[in-house]
Amino acid sequence: MIHGYVLADGTHLDVTQPEFMINFAAGGMFSTVSEVNAFYTALLQNRLLKREAVALMKDGGTSEYGLGLYLWDDSCTRGSYYGHGAGTAGYTGISMASADGTRQLTLLVANRPGDIGSEAGAVYEVHHLVDFARTTLDDLCPE
């Protein structure tokens, strides 16, 4: 397990243990990259929910966020990538998949220690991971 840290009163605090995340749903489960990718493949291929439910999840309307899924431009298909990016104390992650679930990337990184309660660092890290994921998936575009 990769350890995550935050700064608390100038001291590095290990936030790896799940009890630290008791109030945050993002830290409430553990998965492997393979499990997360299998989830998005099954979801986007309508094997978990009815097609109509997945369509609602994908519909961001005028927003980049549908019902539980973020939407990003897929320059390969001129469609969208779907997934979720987020940060929590000590960690930042992204999971992004093509609309058909065949191209995907999931990445979790331990952040540089930052102040507890500082959202700015996590948001900054998520944006960098989004850019990295989009570029990588675009590069995997079938010819």
CB 72 within 8 A of CB 96: yes
Q: Strands 11-14 and 5-8: what pairing?
A: antiparallel
Place of tokens 């960690």: 91
Distance CA 39, CA 108 (A): 16
Average pLDDT, the chain: 80
The pLDDT score that the predictor gives to residue 42 is: 95
Q: Residue 58's closest CA among 82, 94, 84? A: 82
CB 88 within 8 A of CB 21: yes
Contacts of 38 (CB under 8 A, 6+ apart): none
Q: How far is CA 143 from CA 4, 76, 80, 101, in A?
A: 39, 9, 18, 17
Whether pTM exceeds 0.85 = no
Distance CA 77, CA 138 (A): 9
Residue by residue, DSSP assigns 53-85 as HHHHHH--TTSSB-SS-EEEEETTTTEEEEEEE
- Domains annotated for the chain, with CATH where assigned, are 5-139 (3.40.710.10)
The pLDDT score that the predictor gives to residue 129 is: 87
How would you write the pLDDT of the chain (143 residues) with one tens digit per residue?
666 777 777 777 777 665 555 555 555 566 788 999 999 999 999 999 999 999 999 987 777 877 889 999 999 999 999 999 877 667 778 899 999 999 999 988 877 666 445 555 555 577 888 899 999 999 998 77
